[in-house]
A and B are shown apart, each in its own frame.
Chain A
Amino acid sequence: MSFFERLRIGRRGTAYTAKKRLQTVLIHDRSGISPGLLEALKVDMIDTLSRHVEIDRGSVQLSLTKERDQQRLVADIPLANRRSRRRAT
């Protein structure tokens, strides 16, 4: 947590923290996907993808989000930065 984030939460009071935590825990509860399972999915996904494309393993993000009534698994998979390929395209 950054200094400014801390400052902001401090000003908003602990109810703000409570709400954020609640939102996160409910996303996991409702989907039945625990933070642990999400991590395992991410590892499997990285392994599978790596067999086909070169990805930047350390920067992969897999998260659960909710838009209206639709829960989503959102993956952000940066490809490995390969100069040669970039020039070619």
Chain B
Amino acid sequence: MSATIITITSGKGGVGKTTATANLGASLADLGYRVVCIDADIGLRNLDVVMGLENRIVYDLVDVVEGHCKLRQAMIRDKHLQDLFLIPAAQTRDKTAVSPQDMVRITDELRQESDWILIDSPAGIERGFRNAIAPADLVLIITNPEVSAVRDADRIIGLIEAEEKGPGKLILNRVKPEMVRRGDMLATDDILDVLAIDLIGVIPEDEAILIATNRGTAASLDSKSKAGKAYRNVARRLNGEEVPFEILQANDGFFRRISRIMKPGGER
């Protein structure tokens, strides 16, 4: 095995990185892969609660870095999916407890025994972000359809290109089709127009995300959730499948525009 390492980042906070990591992790594991999710948001750990594993934490990423435990001991197995693991962030330390080289070393060790390694990046462009992207084979940039989030995404795209980690792929999250339809929310193609980047997912705003988070499960395992389905499709695209983009609104012109932008072959 030799895992693909994917970092999920955004620039702006609160746009859905942690939710995306949990949902993609569950979707990839559900496809039969061995997946390790790493929470790189040291000091503000959250992936543990989103995945519902907060009560099982013994060791964390900083314990691994500092040699207090073996890597295997810090890997928490998911409750539902046999091949899904979490390496939690430390809660009582700060970002400087881990270096980009530490991240590369740890993921190199993990690479041998997993198919996918997903890294949940903290918001911002400082040390935590640099730690998170250091080992990445692919960076997913997540944004919301609003000016400030897209602006920050642009900055991140520039930075990952400067670090030679580009070109990344874009996940547009929390789309409200009804608002897009009446012209009060940036449409997917508006955003692709201004950010020169490939799209890999469009996730609708969905109450099921909060409900799943309340329970500590992934919405992507809920077959009725639209956002969950959209995340399953992102996982399949990561896996090399050509999956058409979901129709998120009644206006079918939208779908045609998207499928024109996302021509097969543009994918990794």
CB–CB A19/B186 < 8 A: yes
Chain A residues closer than 8 Å to B190, beta-carbon distance: 15, 18-19
Tell yes or no: A74 within 8 A of B by CB.
no
Interface residues on B, range: 10 to 19
CB–CB B183/A29 < 8 A: no
CB–CB B194/A19 < 8 A: yes
Partner pick for B151 among A12, A13, A25, CB 8 A cutoff? A25
* CB-based nearest B residue for A26: B154
Tell yes or no: B146 within 8 A of A by CB.
yes
Tell yes or no: A23 within 8 A of B by CB.
yes
CB–CB B158/A30 < 8 A: yes
CB–CB A22/B185 < 8 A: no
CB–CB A26/B151 < 8 A: yes
Tell yes or no: B87 within 8 A of A by CB.
no
Tell yes or no: B180 within 8 A of A by CB.
yes
Q: Is the interface of A mostly helix, strand, loop or mixed?
A: helix
- B residues 170-209 near A (Cβ < 8 Å) are 180, 182-187, 190, 193-194, 196
CB–CB B183/A22 < 8 A: no
Tell yes or no: B165 within 8 A of A by CB.
no
CB–CB B158/A15 < 8 A: no
Tell yes or no: B36 within 8 A of A by CB.
no
Bound together, the chains give a CA A27 to CA B186 distance in angstroms of: 18
- Whether A22 contacts B155 in the complex (CB less than 8 A), given A13-B183, A15-B180, A15-B183, comes out as no
CB–CB A15/B184 < 8 A: yes
Tell yes or no: B211 within 8 A of A by CB.
no
Chain A residues closer than 8 Å to B146, beta-carbon distance: 18
Tell yes or no: B147 within 8 A of A by CB.
yes
Bound together, the chains give a CA A26 to CA B155 distance in angstroms of: 9
- Whether A22 contacts B147 in the complex (CB less than 8 A), given A15-B190, A29-B154, comes out as yes
Partner pick for B184 among A13, A23, A25, CB 8 A cutoff? A13
Chain A residues closer than 8 Å to B248, beta-carbon distance: none
Q: Mark B22-39, 1 if CB is under 8 A from A, else 0.
A: 000000000000000000
Chain A residues closer than 8 Å to B180, beta-carbon distance: 15
- A residues 10-57 near B (Cβ < 8 Å) are 12-16, 18-19, 21-23, 25-26, 29-30
Chain A residues closer than 8 Å to B147, beta-carbon distance: 18, 21-22, 25
CB–CB A18/B151 < 8 A: no
Partner pick for A29 among B155, B187, B193, CB 8 A cutoff? B155
Bound together, the chains give a CA A22 to CA B148 distance in angstroms of: 8
Bound together, the chains give a CA A14 to CA B154 distance in angstroms of: 21
Closest CB pairs A-B (n = 7): A13-B183, A13-B184, A19-B190, A14-B184, A15-B186, A15-B183, A22-B147
Pairs A–B under 8 Å by Cβ, sample size 26: A12-B183, A13-B182, A13-B183, A14-B184, A15-B180, A15-B183, A15-B184, A15-B186, A16-B183, A18-B146, A18-B147, A18-B186, A18-B190, A19-B186, A19-B190, A19-B193, A19-B194, A21-B147, A22-B147, A22-B150, A22-B151, A22-B194, A26-B194, A29-B151, A29-B154, A30-B158
